[in-house]
Amino acid sequence: MAKEYWDTCLFIAYLKNSPDEQEDIDIIDALLRKAKKGENTIVISTLVIAEIRRKSIYDEHHWRIIRDIFYTNRPYLRVVALNPRLADLASTIGTQHNTISPADAVHIATALSETVDVFYTLDGRHEHGIRRKGDLLNFNGLIGNPPLKIQSPQMPLHSQLPFKQM
């Protein structure tokens, strides 16, 4: 079974439920369906829960789904608490790659400690293909041993997009 680390920005995109981000929302829905079927495990840090703050722009239905996922025992979700060992690893990552924010270093340290197959993020996808130095997608394959695969989530094979009536 695949282990996927989900960065906070996936949950935020899902919560915004914006037409501009509909493709990402469809992908996140498909990945959640796969996890619920037992095909993959989603790994998050407790930091994800701290980073998601309720906002009036969030879709209420999606907010309830996310809160239910976080606070109900789900076999497809592994929540990893930040502890001194992870904090030390995050500090080392931040020292080696000084453009990575402390929060992103915690996410990376958690993903590495859980030996995930992939780290999913939307961080680094900007207009015109221009990325900032600290964007996580810039670090794909550059951190860890074996190197951590950092990528934007893709529609799973054999998934169907929801039918939308015009």
Q: Domains, the chain, ranges and CATH?
A: 2-151 (3.40.50.1010)
Structure token digits, residue 90: 């995050």
Q: How confident is the model at residue 132, as a pLDDT?
A: 54
Percentage above 70 pLDDT, the chain: 88
Helix (H) or strand (E) holding 23: helix 22-36
The residues pairing with 150 across neighbouring beta strands, listed in sequence order, are 119
- The C-alpha atoms of residue 21 and residue 46 are separated, in whole angstroms, by 25
> Which regions in the chain score pLDDT beneath 70?
124-134, 158-166
Single pTM value for the model: 0.88
> Which residues are paired to 119 by β-bridges?
5, 150
- The pLDDT tens digits of the residues spanning 106-151 come to 999 999 999 999 999 998 654 444 445 568 999 999 999 999 999 9
